[in-house]
Amino acid sequence: MPQLSSTARSVPGSGIRRIFELAADLPDVIQLSVGEPEERVAPHILDAGARAWQNDATNYTPNSGLLLLRSAIVSKLGEFNGYAVDEDQVHITAGGSQALHMAMLLTLDAGDEILIPDPGYATFAMASRLVGAVPVPYRLTAEHAFRPRIDDLEQRVGPRTRVLLINSPSNPLGVVFEPEVLRELLDFAARHDLWVISDEVYEYFTFHGGYTSVASLDPNDRVFSVYSLSKTYGLTGGRIGYLVTPPGVAGTFRAAQEAIVSCVNTPAQLAALAAIEGDQSAIADAREHYRKNLAAAGAALDARGIEYYRPDGAFYLWVNVSYCSNGNVAQWAEEFLLSQRVAVAPGSAFGAGGEGWIRICAAGQRKPLLTALSRLPAV
């Protein structure tokens, strides 16, 4: 029997999904392992999607998406993110995950290297391997407030390095990089003539001031920016996101998109248009809900003397369980699920730097969140 491709076989399984799927077969589990907002999607978004189906808006769109939607995103980027693009730089994708995949597909050849954060979202390593590239982790440590260090990056860049990936606000850490940190990273990328992929999926969820889009600081048109409506509007199953590219990429993107999905489904695009152009109060309500959840969870951990990183953005807690995980947090998370019926994401699913830590999603209801934290072993 022939073998599957070595490229496909090189993609590691997700340690997050392993816990999620194990939990699906167990009763009475408090599910904190995946980033799933529980707030109801705003009615005007649901109505727009439903009308699209009812009106048979089911034909193909252009490969890069509906022009009306891309124009709305152009306005949003100017007003909220602080940088100007035209419609040919905006491409609608099947969620932020496909936007990330397309950014890598456009910038990496087989054997090229991409610098990714460690700890960092598991898909960073998975997607880069899927295009035949080599992920090279750069370590983020509690000692340095989980900010990247240029000296560390300089030691990891090599002749095959083509891309630097930046994630702020960060998943799983909740770190939001200051403008001066982003400028240092852009200067580093310019010195080594690297593309930059900026994952800004959690752009609306910051708690101590705003955040800065990397492209707003970039004078050299080297940034590919990844966005998603999944977290912002609670549309995780809608699979709608977008990639913003430097000028001159549209033709290449559209050819690649044609070969993969042709275009994103039309009703989802019309729902996205309603989301971006409509009432935004649900975002503020969600942000306040997450802020209060994180504050309550932090207070509960403080009371028990359990170390964690106090997040500046996103809706996760990064909790240090090295006092009880015995050097294998993936195994510990499985045992914790089976014994305590609490599903958490093991930190090692986000890279070697996550060993001894867990990621807890605080996007759901507060009572089960606090109950779950009470089941953590005593220090």
CATH code for position 364: 3.90.1150.10
Q: Classify each residue of 232-244 as buried b or exposed e, where b means 16 or more C-beta atoms within 10 Å of its C-beta.
A: bbbbbebbbbbbb
Domain shared by 67 and 210, yes or no: yes
- The answer to whether residue 301 is domain-embedded is yes
Q: Which residues are registered as beta bridge partners of 196?
A: 164, 223
Is 252 found in the same domain as 110?
yes
The answer to whether residues 184 and 309 belong to one domain is: no
Of 224, 249, 277, which one is at a domain's C-terminal end? 277
- Nearest residue to 106 via CA among 125, 91, 121, 85: 91
Total of domains in the chain? 2
pLDDT of residue 236: 94
Does one domain contain both 268 and 309? no
Same domain, 259 and 140: yes
Picking from 251, 277, 303, the residue at the C-terminal end of a domain is: 277
Residues 56 and 116 in one domain: yes
Please tell me whether residues 320 and 363 are part of one structural domain.
yes
pLDDT for 12:
85
Task: Single out the residue in 277, 294, 312 at which a domain terminates.
Answer: 277
231 shares a domain with 120: yes
Q: What DSSP element (H or E) covers 228?
A: strand 223-228
- Pair 162, 254 in one domain: yes
pTM for the predicted model, two decimal places: 0.96
Cα separations (Å) of 334 from 249, 319, 340, 352?
44, 16, 10, 18
Alpha carbon separation from 25 to 29, 179, 280, 372 (Å, rounded)? 9, 44, 37, 18
As given in the structure block, the two tokens for residue 64 are: 């890069």
> Alpha-carbon distance 94 to 241, whole Å?
6
* 25 lies in some domain: yes
- Listed residue (279, 300, 282) closest to 376, CA to CA: 300
Domain that holds residue 353: 6-41+281-374
Residues 37 and 47 in one domain: no
Whole-Å CA distances, 188 to 17, 20, 90, 157, 159? 34, 37, 26, 10, 15
- Interval 43-54: pLDDT, tens: 999 999 999 999
For residue 297, the number of C-alpha atoms closer than 13 Å in the C-beta half-sphere is 33
| pLDDT confidence of residue 168 | 98
What does the pLDDT read at residue 36? 87
pLDDT under 70: residue ranges of the chain: none
Identify the DSSP state of 172: T
Residue 175 contacts residue 169 (beta carbons within 8 Å): yes
- CATH number, domain with residue 271: 3.40.640.10
What's residue 38's pLDDT?
Answer: 82
Q: Are the C-beta atoms of residues 358 and 333 closer than 8 Å to each other?
A: yes
26 shares a domain with 93 = no
Query: Residue 231 has what pLDDT?
Result: 95
pLDDT of res. 208: 86
76 assigned to some structural domain = yes
- 1 part of a folded domain: no
Domain co-membership, 172 together with 75:
yes
